[in-house]
Structure 1
Amino acid sequence: MSVRVDEVKKPLELRDELLRFVFRVYQGTGGTYPALEWVEDKPSTDDFEGFREAYEPFLEFRLGKEFDELYVLRDDGGKIAGTIALVYNLGDRDIPWVPEEIRVERTGLIEFFMVDPAYKGKGYGSKLLGLAIGRLKELGRVPYVITFPHLEAYSYYIRKGFTEVMRYGEFVVLREGNPGT
């Protein structure tokens, strides 16, 4: 199966397709990801409308106000198989999960990194992560990730060369490479 990665120039135009993709990830992870940590009663993994109600406003915020660049990985049928976003113009943006300690000009965040569990183990995550790290370095940014320590993603990032630099509330902040550089 061949895949391609496309930069999305108008992310809000993909809102509905991305919402369905994220729901597939939610289903495939048994409701673990996205964590929906702000939702008291999480929808079941077969309740798309409940998921839409909980997640769509957050997705719209991210697509419209947070991401500086968004990339989607599509399979040979055109279906979204993965996503990754970059946030590097932090400035005065109100993104509460980004600690002040890393809100500096050289910071580049890797966000919205997901691969549909049906495509797991095919190297698509590595392809997306490599693209993101390369793009941030091209922009002169230091790649960071903010995640939850209990997610599978945490150990994935550690295996890929990220180092934990701080805990921030329920989140953990990881930096690509050696934090001393």
Structure 2
Amino acid sequence: MRILKVEEPPKLKGDLVRFVFRIYQGTNGKYPALEWVKKKPSTDDFEGFRKVYEPFLEFRLGKEFDELYVGKEGDLIIGTVALVYTLEDKDVWWVPGEIKGKKTGLIEFFMVDPNYKGKGYGSKLLEFAIKRLKELGKEAYVITFPELEAYSYYLKKGFEKVMDYREFVVMRYKLHPTGAGE
């Protein structure tokens, strides 16, 4: 897998909507949670998914993400990760004020195509994101839902729960005592 920086994220919107729909199908509609939607589309309704998800993705690509990376095999996007580290300037209501600061870097939009799960691609993307945030002088945080598989995954990868916030769990990357977490 090659990890590539996306220089103009809005231009990749169509490909990313299709990629996220594969995630939606692979998680049986659990992720993305689409928590703002009253009636979620079925997992075989791409057009319904696109209608509700595309405007949200457009916001994230244009106004939220500071950096976006894709993991590719050939031309196929098999994973994504975004970094958000200028939190003071953004309308990110799901980030608690207590962690909004110059040292905070969020790992967002972290997903791997279900067909590639269990092959180490997620670990590579996550390690890349943590390293990149460290280069920028930021502490790595993630915000997830406690009922998602991602929560236990992050715990295994060296994150610790910092707080509950609304329906989310806020987690921070901690170094392992042996330094293996770096």
Q: TM-score range by the shorter chain?
A: over 0.9
Give the corresponding residue for 1:160.
Answer: 157
Q: Which runs of 5+ in 2 are unaligned?
A: 176-182
C-alpha displacement at 1:73, in angstroms?
0.4
Find 1:69's aligned residue among 49, 67, 78: 67
Give the corresponding residue for 2:37.
Answer: 39
The TM-score normalised by the length of structure 2 is 0.95
1:130 aligns with 2:131: no
C-alpha displacement at 1:91, in angstroms?
1.5
Query: After superposition, where does 1:19-58 map in structure 2 within 5 Å?
Result: 19-58=17-56
Percent of paired sites with the same residue: 69
What do residues 54-87 of structure 1 show as CA deviations (whole Å, max 9, x unaligned)?
10000000000000000000113x1000000000
What do residues 134-161 of structure 1 show as CA deviations (whole Å, max 9, x unaligned)?
0000100000000000000000000001
Distance 2:136 2:125 in 1: 17
RMSD in angstroms over aligned alpha carbons?
0.7
Distance 1:133 1:92 in 2: 22
Residue identity matched to 1:45: T
Residue identity matched to 2:80: T
C-alpha displacement at 1:168, in angstroms?
0.3
Q: Which runs of 5+ in 1 are unaligned?
A: none
Distance 2:88 2:21 in 1: 31
C-alpha displacement at 1:11, in angstroms?
0.1
Distance 2:162 2:135 in 1: 22
The TM-score normalised by the length of structure 1 is 0.96
Distance 2:51 2:10 in 1: 17
Residue identity matched to 1:60: E
Query: After superposition, where does 1:4-15 map in structure 2 within 5 Å?
Result: 4-15=2-13
